[in-house]
Structure 1
Amino acid sequence: MLQRRARSRRGARAAAVLAAAVLAGSPAASPRTGSGPLAPAAAAPAPAAAAPAPARAAPTGPREEAAVALVVGDSQAHGALATPAEDTWVVAGVRARGYDVELRGGYGTGYVTAAAGRPGYLAALRSGAWALPDPERVRLVVVEGGGNDVAARPAALAAAAQEVVGRLHAAYPRAQLVVVGPMDQTPDPRRTAVSEVLRGAATSTGAGFVDATPWFPALLPATSVGADGVHLSPEGHRAAEPLLARALAGLGAAGGPAGPARRAL
């Protein structure tokens, strides 16, 4: 009897030790979900991803725009014989000084001469036929031409040129104004006479003046004249461009970054 009680006490102690060992190996804080078995321990949350750096705001200030040159001209500026306006010696020479170009006038026109429904310079300014660019941006006004005015009376041409320059001065008071006389590529003494009339008009109104009559034949090769004997060849435009650019530089004309020519009819 005593032996059975001793064996019973030893069995109870063994069962207690075994139960303790089982409890020690069990998850300590495993919550139950309803009446089902023990749920696995919850996984530790992953570390939060670093917040992306804020995007850098784009500049919101006004972009500096290139200075604009208003160019009024005839076919020497608008192009002829398959030479486009942007490649003419007038437009390219002005652009070489760092200006965006706004082009007005037209083929065959002049200070008093109209052609194919296109008014002369003075008539266009009087009637408002041209949409002129914003005065706030225009820093240079170049009036090229006179070659189509060789038949005009000198007094009438002088009065027209003075009014053209005066009106442009009034429209663009902050702009430098330069008159560019005709070339004498034929040669034709009437072109030299027109150039002198335009020189006087420029001087009397305070505008600069570029005399292009001496460029032939001293500075431009014979191949500069195209097949019609009047308009320049592509080679002639390329040769004359730096001559105008240097003349404008001598008058102090300098703009900003250059852009394309824009024609408005």
Structure 2
Amino acid sequence: MRRLVISAIAVLLVLGACAGSAVRSRSPWRPADAVRAAHRPPVVFVLGDSYTTGIRGLRPEQTYAAEAARRLGWQVILAGRAGTGFVGTGMSGRTFGTLFDEQLAWRPAPDLVLVSGGHNDVWYPPGLVELNARLLLGKMKRRWPRTRVVLMGPLWGGDPKPAALVVRDVLREVAGELAIPFVDPLRGRWITGSVRTRKGNARRYIRADGTHPNVVGNRYIAARLVADLRRLPGVLPGR
């Protein structure tokens, strides 16, 4: 009888230990997972040209897109290639549409996609720029129906030439048709004057090539972008 009692107690102790171990192994994970999910940084894709991805002498992490991500607490993925656009292909032979398929479309849905371009499309028919922009942005919205999409018009290294304004107008119309918020650096006169004439703020923010922003210029453009995004209702993730 005594042996039976001792055996029963031993079984209960083993079962209790197993149950306690199970509770200890499960209970920390559920709250921790919930905390991590609640505080997960927004995932943002930025698709663009050399302004977004960087050029020789300016690394991707120094571009306006990376700086904006730091300021807003984004987990950012930079996509695109130098010289590209909705129609322009640069040296890569790829448009934004092709680069979207290769670099972004296969990824899980982000919280926000920012498409920044048009600078390299000024040499092409505006109607073709309009068509390609509409196709790409429409594809994005269908691919990730819950993801917010923002379109930013052409960046320029100073006062824009008329062709840049034409491309900007075309992209703004497409954004309006698709109910996509539009950020307009040309209308906001983010960069003024020119490096050549040493007028406006271009002499401070733009490299000697007259086109691309330097490190300080990228920080400045990031600040302007962040300010515009904060003014757009319902655009920034978590707001």
Q: TM-score range by the shorter chain?
A: 0.7 to 0.9
* Paired letter, 2:165: T
Q: RMSD in angstroms over aligned alpha carbons?
A: 2.3
Cα 1:244–1:185 change in 2 (3 A) is same
Offset of residue 170 of structure 1: 0.9
Q: Specify the SS of the correspondent of 1:230.
A: coil
Matched, 1:78 2:60: no
Pick from 91, 97, 106: which aligns with 1:116? 91
Matched, 1:236 2:217: yes
Tell which has more relative contact order, 1 or 2 (C-alpha 8 A, sep 6+).
1
Structure 2: runs of 5+ lacking an equivalent: 1-20, 194-199
Matched, 1:174 2:146: yes
Q: Which residue of 2 aligns with 1:201?
A: 174
Q: How does 1:141-152 map to 2 (within 5 A)?
A: 141-152=113-124
Q: Matches of 1:189 and 1:94 in 2, distance apart? A: 31
Q: Matches of 2:152 and 2:104 in 1, distance apart? A: 22
Do the aligned partners of 1:97 and 1:249 also contact (CA within 8 Å) in 2?
Answer: no
Q: How does 1:61-100 map to 2 (within 5 A)?
A: 61=30, 62=33, 63-64=36-37, 65-100=40-75
Alpha-carbon displacement from aligned partner over 1:7-39 (angstroms, at most 9, x marks no partner): xxxxxxxxxxxxxxxxxxxxxxxxxxxxxxxxx
Q: Which residue of 2 aligns with 1:185?
A: 157
Q: Specify the SS of the correspondent of 2:103.
A: coil
Do the aligned partners of 1:81 and 1:231 also contact (CA within 8 Å) in 2?
Answer: no
Q: Matches of 2:64 and 2:99 in 1, distance apart? A: 23
Matched, 1:226 2:197: no
Q: Matches of 2:91 and 2:42 in 1, distance apart? A: 32
Do the aligned partners of 1:87 and 1:237 also contact (CA within 8 Å) in 2?
Answer: yes
Structure 1: runs of 5+ lacking an equivalent: 1-53, 257-265
Do the aligned partners of 1:224 and 1:233 also contact (CA within 8 Å) in 2?
Answer: yes
Q: Which residue of 2 aligns with 1:158?
A: 130
Q: Specify the SS of the correspondent of 1:158.
A: helix
Q: Matches of 1:198 and 1:91 in 2, distance apart? A: 23
Offset of residue 186 of structure 1: 3.9
Larger radius of gyration: 1
* Paired letter, 1:172: W
Runs of 4+ in 1 over 6 A off after TM superposition: none
Q: Which residue of 2 aligns with 1:134?
A: 108
Q: Matches of 2:28 and 2:218 in 1, distance apart? A: 41
Offset of residue 91 of structure 1: 3.0
Do the aligned partners of 2:47 and 2:115 also contact (CA within 8 Å) in 1?
Answer: yes
Offset of residue 95 of structure 1: 4.1
Q: Specify the SS of the correspondent of 2:141.
A: helix
Alpha-carbon displacement from aligned partner over 1:141-183 (angstroms, at most 9, x marks no partner): 1000110011110111111111111011111111111100112
Give 1 or 2: higher helix fraction.
Answer: 2
Do the aligned partners of 1:186 and 1:229 also contact (CA within 8 Å) in 2?
Answer: yes
Q: How does 1:11-50 map to 2 (within 5 A)?
A: none
Q: Which residue of 1 aligns with 2:4?
A: none
- Identity fraction in percent: 28
Matched, 1:254 2:227: no
Offset of residue 235 of structure 1: 1.2
Q: Which residue of 2 aligns with 1:60?
A: 29
Do the aligned partners of 1:99 and 1:255 also contact (CA within 8 Å) in 2?
Answer: no
Matched, 1:212 2:185: yes
* Paired letter, 2:230: A
